[in-house]
Chain A
Amino acid sequence: LAKTTQPISMDSYEGQEVNITCSHNNIATNDYITWYQQFPSQGPRFIIQGYKTKVTNEVASLFIPADRKSSTLSLPRVSLSDTAVYYCLVMDTGRRALTFGSGTRLQVQP
């Protein structure tokens, strides 16, 4: 399974755009890149998933370069409620199980 590396923590202020970059140098051809969000005392929640280029939904955007060895989660105009841990994962499409890395603890301040 591809290992992921992301910053341990980030700080931001309300209204700013936050970009969290993850590296996954050993990603396989059929693997997808997935991001999850976790609040305290809750299970992780799916944010976005992509294979290459750019994916956007109502919550975030995901940028994946051509070599797919990294990805960037972009959260536009964060609010205090975006304070959470964000996990970058590479999904083995055959096995479906996800291996969680250390995650990035995002703290949004007023």
Chain B
Amino acid sequence: SAVISQKPSRDICQRGTSLTIQCQVDSQVTMMFWYRQQPGQSLTLIATANQGSEATYESGFVIDKFPISRPNLTFSTLTVSNMSPEDSSIYLCSAVSVASTGELFFGEGSRLTVL
């Protein structure tokens, strides 16, 4: 299995500012993803974090708004830029372990509130 730690677990931010969420995995993983989950809703895939190259974004998400880094196999960051109240959500990091058969592990999420 893989344990995924996210920081911060929650934050309250002002409109127009940016926040970077960190994701650390305790073991080697092949793929890492970022999801967003609004209260009471399902998860929406934002992007696939690619090691050493630009992330692959899903429809409706762009790099200028959600820049993502993945400098090595076990660490990734997601930045929410120029935040508005509509960005208030839970952001979840997930990964596929090299030792698994495709099982996706999730962090506990980072709850972001934009005022």
Q: Which residues from chain A sit less than 8 Å from chain B, CB to CB? A: 32, 34, 36, 41-46, 49, 87, 91, 93, 95-103
B39: nearest chain-A partner, CB-CB: A40
Q: Find out whether the CB atom of B109 lies under 8 angstroms from the CB atom of A43.
A: yes
CA distance A101 to B43 in the complex (A): 8
Q: Find out whether the CB atom of A91 lies under 8 angstroms from the CB atom of B102.
A: yes
Given contacts A41-B109, A44-B43, A100-B42, could you give 18 more A-B pairs where the C-beta distance is less than 8 Å? A34-B104, A41-B108, A41-B111, A43-B106, A44-B104, A44-B106, A45-B106, A46-B104, A49-B101, A49-B103, A87-B42, A93-B102, A96-B31, A96-B96, A97-B33, A98-B45, A100-B35, A100-B43
Which B92-106 residues have a C-beta within 8 angstroms of A? 92, 94, 96, 101-106
- What is the total of A-B residue contacts with beta carbons within 8 Å? 53
Q: Is the interface of A mostly helix, strand, loop or mixed?
A: loop
B96: nearest chain-A partner, CB-CB: A96
Number of interface residues of B (CB under 8 A): 23
Which B63-115 residues have a C-beta within 8 angstroms of A? 92, 94, 96, 101-109, 111
Instruction: Tell me the minimal C-beta distance from A4 to chain B in angstroms.
Output: 11
**B103: which A residues are within 8 A, CB to CB?**
34, 46, 49
B30 within 8 A of A: yes
**B111: which A residues are within 8 A, CB to CB?**
41
Instruction: Tell me the minimal C-beta distance from A94 to chain B in angstroms.
Output: 11
With A49-B102, A99-B45, A101-B42 known as contacts, the answer to whether A43 contacts B108 (CB < 8 A) is: yes
A92: nearest chain-B partner, CB-CB: B102
Instruction: Tell me the minimal C-beta distance from B107 to chain A in angstroms.
Output: 6
A93: nearest chain-B partner, CB-CB: B102
B7-20: CB near A (< 8 Å → 1, else 0) gives 00000000000000
